[in-house]
Structures are given as structure tokens and as C-alpha cells.
Structure 1
């Protein structure tokens, strides 16, 4: 697909209020975790506008950002039950019922953004999206949270040994938890909408998320140290209640799929741009940043997560992903 026009998208963000769309033949509630400035918010606004345009007004998508319909677990459960139509949440929240998706959260599986796009836009990505159907969901596209880096308030992280005994918020994903335990940290899963307060009050020492997500959620206000570990990539699948998707005619199904993929591509472009910009902003706001941590020390500790996945699902798909490196 041709590169989206970022300037036009910017006008959309500045001028468009999706919630003001008049009702068409189909009105869908789309829930996600993103704050007002987050790239997932901009991308879903764009996706909603494209669906409205492509359907000549038949499809209206009402956005519910910033976890206003509940935390990530509640949002995805609501979509499976049909109280929410469409959801975007981090891949780890899907792995609580679809453990095969743990594959995408294996530490150091992906080398960079190009590698991610090649895999998720290919046969493996299609297979994983389709695997959601047995759980009552229709995968529409892979949005993303991105490559994760570590922040905390205790000390700078130069190598995995510096994580010793730090209480870090992680996702509920077993691959993430296994890796942080191997690094001798104390992984503490919790919903993201609880993270800021937990950092501020000292319930946890730190967390791990991409730079754009750190900045847009103001975590620099309650965190001192940032280490650019890029230790794991987190996808954020957009999925729809399967019965609701199947109730649509083929044309409207294809419109939703097209609009969802265009929004996902836009989000990835924005994340690349914003990560560079916001890293400088974080430095200006006082965060101490380790740009070159000892990645080899983290890779060694990540082996158990890979072994656990391989025992259950084998190495074939992992090896195929590794062979896709550009």
C-alpha cells in the first residue's frame, strides 16, 4: 500500500471529531487504551474516518479512548462478549486466552521495525490474526505499542544485573514475566491505567514501554532513569466481535479491514517519528538516559522464555520469523 499522506492525516486529527459523525447503517463502539496524544488515538481516528468515507456514510465508528470503558482486560472481554464491537489492546492481554500469541512477545525476537512489518504483514501475521476466531474475535489488523524500554526510580540500568530486586510493572504475558524473573527483577503485572499512580506512590519502582508511550502518558514526571533496552516488541491487535463482523455483508467487511490496515500503517509511521522526537523531550525534562545498555546480558536471560514457548509449540514459526530479518 502506498505511503499515507501524513499531512492530510494531521488535518484529520486537528479538525475531525469522530464522535460527531451522524449515524449510518452500522454504528460500532471502538475501545482502546490510548491517551489523547497517543499514536493509537490518532490512528483510530484516521481509521474511523476512512471507514466512514469508504462506506459513503454507512459505517460510523464511535471511539472510546483512554480506557474509558475499563482496563485492557475488561475491554477485550467486552469485545468477546459483544458489549464492545472493536478493541485495540496490547498483545499480552490476548495471550491470557490465546497462548499461541505469546510468540510475538518473546524477548529479542524482532530486530527492528522493518523486520516486524515483514512478519506481521505476511503469512505469519495473517495466521495469528485468524487464530483469534476460535475465541470469538475477528482480527482486523496489527496496531502496535512498539519496542519496549525500561524506566525506574532507583538506578540506571546498564546491564541486566542492574534490575536485581527492582519491582517493575510488566504486562501479564508469561514470556515477559519469565524474562524479568531471569533478570532477577520482581515483575508485577497490572493494568496500564494504574501505572502512573503506582509509580508516584512507590508501589512499583519502574515499568517498561516505548518512548512515545512513556512521554504521552507523562511517566517522566514520576520516573528518573530510562534505559534503551528494546528488549521486546509489543503488538496491539485490533479485533472485532466475530458475530458482529460476520453479520456484515462482504463489502462492509472489506471496508473495515482496509480502514483498519491503513490506520495501523499510519500508527507505525507516527511511532517512528515520535520516538525520535520524544527521546529528546524526555532528556530535556530531566530523565537520565542510557542509550547503549549491555544487550547481550539481557539476551542471555531471555533464553528461558524462548525455551518455554518452543516446548509447547516447537521452533518452526520462531525460525521462520528469524529468517525474515532484513
Structure 2
């Protein structure tokens, strides 16, 4: 696990004894942090916590302006903006990040992680840090892993208990080949599209369903268009605090340390929040009339996606065997 430092400890690492705070003479820094979900979502909670922490730890010298609801573009657009310096940073789902560093998609292979703690062990260890560091290859700075969480299937047509029940369902997936092939292996008509487009498509009935963690289903009120949810927990999706290298390289070492540690702390805050809220959110969805299936035949789902491992298992270098070795 990452070592979480309190604000006082951070200050101690960047101040010499008896000196004025290192940020006392710092030019004010205003960061524009964007994400694509609404203010009820865990991403926004993580962003808000980050905003609070950097302000507190820099005595207001670093401020963060948050742009939710895809106001600055979808996740791919945000990452491209970070690369060229038109957007400073964001909280971004792992799937779109893998379009820039393909190996990071290894985390989202279906049924790879048996639990949150197993995922955290890998993400917060050597493998996770290695992949965060590799974002520098594409002019991005990986700061920390927050989370989207374990993803589950929803649809507006009928209950899904086995892969056979998915035959012909039009399911929105992220624009990521692992997700596309996973749902094709399960028998669905996988439809890759940006999240903002998916919301409209569900309302209009041009797609039947989608797959996302409970917190997304709840915060976006998907129960209003989706009558069924199956707790497939088919993939654990990290999310990343990401910054563009142009802005990162322009910061002082003191500012970089504050931003890095605050991102780690905010990511941990969001993980804890998601875990605490999931049961309450599930009950609210049940109370709204959504049918939630928590006893689906997951062994059949796992067997059905074996072709995904045959296709992609060797495409992530040595990351998959290293992850499996760490988990065993």
C-alpha cells in the first residue's frame, strides 16, 4: 500500500528548519481538473477532496477548479488536451487511458481480481506504480489510482442469469478492445461509445444496456431506463488521477510533492467512500423497483470469456503472469 502522509509530514519534507514555507514565495497555481461524470459520483468526491487537500497543504497557493459533466470533453479528449497542455488534469477511467498506454488495460481483463483488496494490492504495489510511470512515455503524468470499481451489467429487456441470456442484447461498452471482445464473447452486441452518448442512447432505446459499477448506476439514476442489474462483477476498473506533462514539468518540486500526495490521499478517500456506500445504493435501487440479481452463474460467465485471455493474455508483456503470481 502507498504510505499516506499527513499534511504536517508533507510540510516537513519540503521545509528546512526555521525557514518560511516553500510556497510562501510561490507564484499562484490554478489547476483545471476535469471529469465526465456528475457531482453525485465518486469521481467528483475524489476531485473535491483533492481540491481541499492541495489548498490546505499549500496554504492556498495551489487552487483547483473542477469541471464535471464532460464540460471540457469526453475522456479521450481530456487526455489529448493534457498531452498538449490545454487541460491540466483529470480523474479518468482506466479504459480510455489504455488507448494511450495499452498495457494498463491488463487490469481490466475479465474476472482477474477476486476482490477490492486484491486489486489494491496490485495497483498500490510495484506493478501499478510501473504502469503509472509509463504514462510519461505519452506526455502524461500518472499520479494515483482512484477507482471506478467492479462493473456490473444492466439492461432494459430482461433478467440475465447466464451468458445465454445476453444473446443479442445491445450493450454499451467503453471504447476499449478488451471490453468489446469480452461482451462479444458473452454473446452480446457490444456497442463502443462515449459515456455521454450512452446516456442518450439508453433514454432513446437505441441500446439495451451498459456495464458499470453500482455507484454509476445509482448516481446517474440508470434505474429510470434500466430495469435489471446482474451483479456480474466481471471487471475491476481503476480510475486515475492524471496530469499533463506540460503543466507537471512547469511546477516546482514543492508543488509537485503536494499534488502527488494529495492525489494519493484523495484516491484512497474515494475508495473508502465507494465501499461504504455500495450497500446503501443497492438498497435504494431495489426500492425503486430495479430487479437486482446477485446469484447469477458467474462460473459460466468466467468460462465464456476464456477466449479473451487467449487473445490478449500475451499482449501485455509480462504483466498478466506477474499479477497472477502476486495474487496467488
The TM-score normalised by the length of structure 1 is 0.90
The answer to whether residue 233 in structure 2 is matched with residue 224 in structure 1 is no
In 2, the alpha carbon distance for the partners of 1:311 and 1:212 equals 32
Tell me how far 1:190 sits from its aligned partner: 1.0
Aligned to 1:144: 147
CA contact (8 A) 1:102 1:309 kept: no
Q: Residues 222 and 47 (structure 1 numbering): CA distance in 2 closer, same or farther, change over 3 Å?
A: same
In 1, the alpha carbon distance for the partners of 2:92 and 2:177 equals 17
Aligned to 2:12: none
The answer to whether residue 49 in structure 2 is matched with residue 46 in structure 1 is yes
In 1, the alpha carbon distance for the partners of 2:219 and 2:271 equals 16
Unaligned runs of 5+ in 2: 7-25
Residue 203 of structure 1 aligns to a residue in which SS? coil
Aligned to 1:301: 304
Higher gyration radius (CA) = 2
CA contact (8 A) 2:141 2:242 kept: yes
The answer to whether residue 242 in structure 2 is matched with residue 211 in structure 1 is no
In 2, the alpha carbon distance for the partners of 1:70 and 1:288 equals 33
The answer to whether residue 176 in structure 2 is matched with residue 173 in structure 1 is yes
The answer to whether residue 268 in structure 2 is matched with residue 251 in structure 1 is no
Aligned to 1:18: none
CA contact (8 A) 2:4 2:265 kept: no
Tell me how far 1:131 sits from its aligned partner: 0.9
The CA RMSD measured in Å over matched residues stands at: 1.7
Residue 289 of structure 2 aligns to a residue in which SS? coil
In 1, the alpha carbon distance for the partners of 2:287 and 2:160 equals 19
Aligned to 1:29: 32
Aligned to 2:281: 278
- What are the Cα deviations for residues 144-173 of structure 1, in whole angstroms up to 9, with x where unaligned? 111000000111110111110100000111
In 2, the alpha carbon distance for the partners of 1:192 and 1:313 equals 26
Tell me how far 1:273 sits from its aligned partner: 1.3
The TM-score normalised by the length of structure 2 is 0.90
CA contact (8 A) 2:163 2:186 kept: yes
In 1, the alpha carbon distance for the partners of 2:264 and 2:309 equals 29
CA contact (8 A) 1:34 1:67 kept: yes
**What is the aligned counterpart of 1:261 among 261, 264, 280?**
264
Aligned to 2:321: 319
In 2, the alpha carbon distance for the partners of 1:319 and 1:295 equals 23
**What is the aligned counterpart of 1:64 among 62, 67, 70?**
67
- What are the Cα deviations for residues 292-315 of structure 1, in whole angstroms up to 9, with x where unaligned? 11111111122222222233234x
Aligned to 1:187: 190
- What are the Cα deviations for residues 17-69 of structure 1, in whole angstroms up to 9, with x where unaligned? xxxxxx96111100012211111111111111101111122111111011111
Tell me how far 1:100 sits from its aligned partner: 1.1
In 2, the alpha carbon distance for the partners of 1:98 and 1:146 equals 20
In 2, the alpha carbon distance for the partners of 1:297 and 1:79 equals 41
Tell me how far 1:322 sits from its aligned partner: 2.2
Unaligned runs of 5+ in 1: 5-22
Tell me how far 1:317 sits from its aligned partner: 2.1
CA contact (8 A) 2:43 2:270 kept: yes
CA contact (8 A) 1:142 1:261 kept: yes
Residue 229 of structure 1 aligns to a residue in which SS? strand
